[in-house]
Amino acid sequence: MASSSSSSLPLHICHGNKLTTIINRSHAVLHSIAIAFLIHYRVSFFFQDPKTRAAPAVPLVFVFASELLLSFIWFLGRAYDWNPVYRTVFPERLPSDEKLPPIDVFICTTDPNKEPTIGVMNTLLSAMALDYPPDKLSVYLSDDGGYAITLHAMREAWRFAKFWLPFCRRFDIETRCPDVYFSRTNDHHPESKNSDFIEEKQKTKEQYELFKERVRRAGEECKLKDKDVRSASNHPSCIEVIQEDSKEGLQEGEITEIPLLVYVSREKRTPHLHHFKAGAVNTLLRVSAVLSNSPYILMLDCDMYCNDPTSARQAMCFHFDPQMSPSLAFVQFPQAFHNISENDIYDSELLQIAWPGLDGLKGPVLSGTNFYIKREALCCHSIQKGMGPIHFFLDIIHIYFTIGVQGSYYCAKQADIELRELKDSFGPSNEFIKSIQRDYNKPNLNGDEVSNMLLKEAKVLASCSYENHTKWGKEASFLYDAVAEDYLTGFVMQCNGWTSAYVAPSSTRRPQFLGTSTTNVNELLTQGIRWGAGLVDVAISRFSPLLYGPPRTSFLHSMGYAELSLFPLLYCLPLWCFATIPPLYLLNGVPLYPEVSDPYFSVFLLIFLSSLSKHLHEVLKSGRPIRKWINEQRIWMIKSVTCHLYGSLDAILKKLGLRKASFMTTNKVADDDQIELYREGKFDFRASTIFIVPLVTIMLVNLASVAGGIWRMLFMGGDWKKMLGQVLLSVYIIVMNYVVIEGMVIRRDKGRIPLHVSVLSFVFCLIFLLLGSLISNSLF
Ligand SMILES: O=c1ccn([C@@H]2O[C@H](COP(=O)(O)OP(=O)(O)O[C@H]3O[C@H](CO)[C@@H](O)[C@H](O)[C@H]3O)[C@@H](O)[C@H]2O)c(=O)[nH]1
Ligand SMILES: [Mn+2]
């Protein structure tokens, strides 16, 4: 609990759920006992006389290893159940606007072909229209491709903002992303019948249409220009403060307060590593430090618009809490999406169990977007309490800069040493070093000398060689050691003593941010490779949570982080094993599980049902239907055997120096027939063969095994009691992934599985079963 400075009422409250915690902990105890029995059963098998064993040891080694891995990852995940907390905020209790601190908003974009410019501008406009004093808001757009269209569209967006912002403010509009607002057919605004409102709305809408048309036209012109002048991976830095070029559009005497708007395209040269989004954000961190230097930063992906304009005030409820604020690095809001269909076949709506779970331990994971972070925490990572040594150095630097050579010799010399140290960490820019100490500083950027000097400095800070031989990306700012820069940076900050908070919207509030999710198999799994690789990058790096976490952060907190970083790897191995080895032995009539009459059979069944029902409980508790549970199970299996395998491999190969890091940006453009398939709830199997072939092959292997197994029981005197475990496992796989069979043999539409993919998979399945049977028979 916290109390506001102006009243005794709390700005936010934090609550747990005792009953759920009791259920979770009891479940964990029972499940652990069952796992202990399982381990006992398997271990005693290996102590049996090899001549009298019912099954060969080799497949059982794989199966047992998989069972151990699954148990281990299950154990790590218990950290989320330990003490999940939920938070409620009361932004209306915040002190008056004058006391609110300034905020810089960072938005990243990289490729207008995958990230439509109008969408990016909508994100930008929604951020400019946040319910926050406009003079305390600065919006930066990082354009990693350096495209002329983006800069051009930004100037247009600025012009449109002169209509959009006053309209939103005057009528207190809730939906401040213009595209979403104007595409709604019914307006529930209390003044929707008021003629004044109708007129203003119509006028603003016309301006919006004009704005879109100008951007569209500019897009066509710029396409030609961009082609011959520059390339996305090779261009100089370009920084522009977008501001008034004419009085056009403004009525007599009308002044609109518009946040500072800055276009930043960092320099890119081919041999220089640019570190993708992390590199872009670090550039923004430096550039904004000399232009506005706000103590708080809101980070947004270009496809994540502000859906609740009060999110900044919600975040401030924590930053204004005197108890929490000194160590609080960031407030994270959930990643929710606007384009998810009702049946959500790709399980895009993230069930964020880890976030409240970690929030109750020390703080949730940083999710890359939708968070308000303290500049100091991001920039320096180390936590400075009161007059720590860094503050002392900074004070000396301050004296050095203010009194210069006339200062005492001692101070100057001491400052020299410290200045050199700071430059070693943060690079050679004096302006930047000064900004570390200086508070908020929004210069008047109206073409005067100061602004020219600052813009020149900003360009230096955005050059591709600026970070050479500094601590950028290594010890300060967004770290470069993993493609999941967000997860890694948040973890290291928390290991350095910072905390964080997670705020899901309460039932009466709207989601604070809404983004675009993947709506086809190819994008889903391509993104899954990057996420998988990014997380495993961390698991096998010097920051591996179980090794790096304790004693910097609690063991439970490290366990939670370890679960996230290890799950792609630790699920893909056992799932591949269960999808192939038990069915292969089922086909050959060799039991790998105890027979039905054996009491240990119930142990296996119990563990299986206990995991499923725990998951079902989580889904139902969050208010989702059973269908969500099925989707989650299915997508978990599909991702494990495809993208998480490739992602883990990618991370391992990078570690061995056999591959370079890459970041495939998600495509935010969807074509009509793809959207139609998605709305109908049909899988779009027009995806890379490397994704579909494993799925189809596994399905064929399991189908063949169940059919072969039943044949054996019926006609070859097989004992069903011994094989039931394997039959159940394969049937479960088949039932949960029925969509694959449907895509292979039933569907006739465009999104079905192409014949050649089925044929190729059939060949793989045949090879696996033949070779596998040969080997398994020779093992006896
Ligand atoms: O070289 C690059 C590559 C990407 N981006 C931007 O990074 C953002 C995220 O990229 P996207 O392709 O949309 O990836 P997602 O998988 O949707 O993003 C999720 O995963 C990322 C980590 O992989 C996080 O950084 C994001 O915040 C999180 O939303 C977008 O705004 C991009 O424009 C850059 O600025 N430069
Ligand atoms: Mn995205």
Dig out the tokens for 241 from the structure: 């403060």
Ligand 1 neighbour 277 (Cβ under 6 A): yes
- For residue 231, the model assigns a pLDDT of 76
Burial 463-489 (b: 16+ CB within 10 A, else e): bbebbeebebbeebbbbbbbbbbbbbb
277 marked as binding residue: yes
Who's near 413: CB < 8 A, 6+ residues apart? none
Is the predicted pLDDT of residue 391 greater than 50, yes or no? no
Angstrom CA distances, 54 to 128, 156, 443, 451, 604, stand at 70, 75, 80, 81, 17
Tens digits of per-residue pLDDT, 313-369? Answer: 999 999 999 999 999 999 999 999 999 998 999 999 887 889 999 999 999 999 999
Q: What is the DSSP letter of 468?
A: T
Using DSSP, state whether 746 is helix, strand or coil. Answer: helix
Cα(303) to centroid(ligand 2), Å: 6
Catalytic pick among 81, 104, 143, 144: 144
Ligand 1 neighbour 647 (Cβ under 6 A): no
Which helix (H) or strand (E) segment is 261 a member of?
strand 260-265
**Structure-model confidence comparison of residues 334 and 449, the more confident one:** 334
Around Cβ 229, how many Cβ atoms within 10 Å?
11
Tens digits of per-residue pLDDT, 420-448? Answer: 888 999 999 998 998 887 666 666 666 56
Tens digits of per-residue pLDDT, 626-671? Answer: 999 999 999 999 999 999 999 999 999 999 999 999 888 999 888 8
- For residue 445, the model assigns a pLDDT of 63
Cα(274) to centroid(ligand 1), Å: 14
245 marked as binding residue: no
114 marked as binding residue: yes
Cα(264) to centroid(ligand 1), Å: 17
To the query of whether residue 416 is one of the catalytic residues in this protein, the response is no
Whose structure tokens read 């009528």? 171
- For residue 48, the model assigns a pLDDT of 85
Interface confidence (ipTM) of the complex? 0.98
Is the predicted pLDDT of residue 230 greater than 80, yes or no? no
Q: What is the DSSP letter of 488?
A: H
In the CATH scheme, what is the homologous superfamily, with its name and number, of domain 97-515?
Spore Coat Polysaccharide Biosynthesis Protein SpsA; Chain A (3.90.550.10)
Are 260 and 442 in contact by the 8 Å Cβ rule? The answer is yes
- For residue 636, the model assigns a pLDDT of 97
Band the pLDDT of 251: cuts 50, 70, 90.
low
Strand partners, 373: 297, 330
Whose structure tokens read 């993919």? 757
Averaged pLDDT, 763-776 = 94
Domain boundaries, the chain: 14-88, 97-515, 522-779
Count helices and strands in the chain by DSSP H and E runs? 26, 12
Which residue of 144, 277, 281, 480 sits with most ligand 1 atoms within 8 Å of its CB, as the best mutation to test the pocket?
277
Cα(304) to centroid(ligand 1), Å: 10
Using DSSP, state whether 590 is helix, strand or coil. Answer: coil
Nearest protein CA to atom 30 of ligand 1, as residue: 301
Who's near 61: CB < 8 A, 6+ residues apart? none
- For residue 482, the model assigns a pLDDT of 94
Is the predicted pLDDT of residue 405 greater than 50, yes or no? no
Dihedral (CA of 319, 324, 326, 330) sign? negative
144 marked as binding residue: yes
Are 218 and 151 in contact by the 8 Å Cβ rule? The answer is no
How high does pLDDT run on average in the chain? 90
Is the predicted pLDDT of residue 379 greater than 80, yes or no? yes
